Amino acid sequence: MKIIRNIEQLRQELDGQTSIGFVPTMGFLHEGHASLLKQARQENDIVVLSIFVNPTQFGPNEDLDRYPRDAERDQALAEAAAVDYLFYPTNETMYPLDMARVTVRSGDDVLCGASRPGHFDGVLTVVSKLFNIVRPNRAYFGLKDAQQLALIEGYIADYFVPVEIRRCPIIRETDGLAKSSRNVYLSELEREQAPGIQQALVQAKSWLDDGQPIEQVVEQTRALLQFEGTSIDYVEAVSYPALGPVTATTETILLAVAVQFQSARLIDNLLYTRGA
């Protein structure tokens, strides 16, 4: 595995490659990231992993400075996953002039976007930059960040970007908690409470299977997420991948939740296809 920090060097290394799989991350890698790298390894000749804690997707009161970082551990996981190139850019590398950014026109006023204005502008801006640098054939994203994934797919379609987006399933702990770099912030009690998020979504699927109205399912799911010492950021159902209102003709519903613990905000979701 080669560790590269310079854009031109990476482009030279990748020049002429016909099958490049790309996994963009913010580091502090876990088994969820490893699953993306595994799929990329299976489907491509070359695998590129980027690690960059992108400042433009953090709000003024969010956790940019304390976002977990562990370069040595990340490199070990990358090598174990048979990554060919690990790209480590700096802020100056990624934002040399910072004169232009991608702006989201729809789909960012619900779910995480409703309480994080500008967040997805930052996400799409850095993804655009990374795609221009790496020029991958395929890029791999987890469905845990389902809103992010839908917006990236929309960006790809709107800008005719020649990359195939590969959706990858949520990877969970044995007790059902979705893997997240922020799980390390949970206290012992919060770690015991946190699997209840996925348990609520499993129950929600059962209600949907029974034909209960989506509005009722949302409210019942909210009631299951009342953990002591926490607050609910949102429990919301939207169409997927359009991220619009659910109607009688909506085929796939995204039921997504965000719960704020004392030092960590955890998200999870259920993708539900009617009649499947």
- 63-116, pLDDT tens digit by residue? 788 889 999 999 999 999 999 999 999 999 999 999 999 999 999 999 999 999
List phi, psi (to 5°) of 21: -105, 135
Q: Are 59 and 119 in contact (CB under 8 A)?
A: yes
Taking the C-alpha atoms of residue 176 and residue 183, their distance in angstroms, rounded to an integer, is 13
Catalytic residue among 4, 21, 24, 33: 33
Give the per-residue pLDDT at 191: 97
Identify whether 33 is a catalytic site residue: yes
Q: Could you tell me how far CA 61 lies from the centroid of its own chain? A: 20
Please indicate, yes or no, whether the overall pTM of this predicted structure exceeds 0.75.
Answer: yes
List phi, psi (to 5°) of 248: -65, -25
**pLDDT at 222 exceeding the cut of 90:** yes
Longest dimension (CA), the chain: 56
Give the per-residue pLDDT at 63: 79
Share of the chain above pLDDT 90, in %: 94
**pLDDT at 276 exceeding the cut of 80:** no
Q: Could you tell me how far CA 116 lies from the centroid of its own chain? A: 15
